[in-house]
Structure 1
Amino acid sequence: MKKKITVLTGAGVSAESGINTFRDSGGLWEGHDVMEVASPQGFYANPELVLDFYNQRRRQLPQVSPNKAHLALVDLESQYDVTIVTQNVDDLHERAGSSHIVHLHGELLKARSTGNENDVLPWSKDLNIGDLCSAGHQLRPHIVWFGEQVPMLEKAVEITSESDILLIIGTSMQVYPAAGLVNYVNPSTPIYFIDPMPAVSERDFNHLTIIPKKAAEGVPELVQKLLSSN
Structure 2
Amino acid sequence: MTSRPLIAVLTGAGISTDSGIPDYRGPNGLWQRDPQAQQLVTLEPYLRDPEVRRRAWQMRRDGRALTAEPNAGHRALVELAGELPVRVLTQNVDGLHQKAGLPDRKVLELHGTAHRVQCVQCKRYGEMSQALARVAAGEPDPACQHCGGVLKSATVMFGESLDPVVLAQAEAIAKACDLFIAVGTSLQVYPVAALPRIALEGGAKLIIVNAEPTPYDEYADELVREPISQALPTLVQRFTTAG
Identify, as 1 or 2, the structure richer in helix: 2
Give the C-alpha shift of residue 2 in structure 1. Answer: 4.1
Normalising by structure 2, report the TM-score: 0.82
What is aligned with 1:174? Answer: 188
What is aligned with 2:208? Answer: 193
Which whole-Å deviations, capped at 9, do the CAs of 1:139-187 have from their partners, x for residues lacking one? 2211211221111222211121111211100011112221111111144
Give the C-alpha shift of residue 53 in structure 1. Answer: 2.4
Unaligned runs of 5+ in 2: none
Structure 1: distance between partners of 2:84 and 2:239 = 9
Give the C-alpha shift of residue 219 in structure 1. Answer: 0.5
Normalising by structure 1, report the TM-score: 0.86
Q: Secondary structure at the match of 1:61?
A: coil
* Correspondence 1:43 to 2:46: yes
- Give the percent of matched residue pairs that are identical in Structure 1 and Structure 2: 27
What is aligned with 1:56? Answer: 59
Structure 1: distance between partners of 2:212 and 2:32 = 21
- Taking the TM superposition and a 5 Å limit, the aligned residue runs for 1:76-225 are 76-99=80-103, 100-117=106-123, 119-125=124-130, 126=132, 128-151=140-163, 152-185=166-199, 186-200=201-215, 203-205=218-220, 208-225=221-238
Q: Which amino acid aligns with 2:154?
A: H
Unaligned runs of 5+ in 1: none
Larger mean CA deviation between 136-145 and 6-15 belongs to: 136-145
Structure 2: distance between partners of 1:225 and 1:142 = 36
* Correspondence 1:65 to 2:69: yes
Give the C-alpha shift of residue 195 in structure 1. Answer: 1.2
Give the C-alpha shift of residue 135 in structure 1. Answer: 4.0
Structure 2: distance between partners of 1:53 and 1:30 = 16
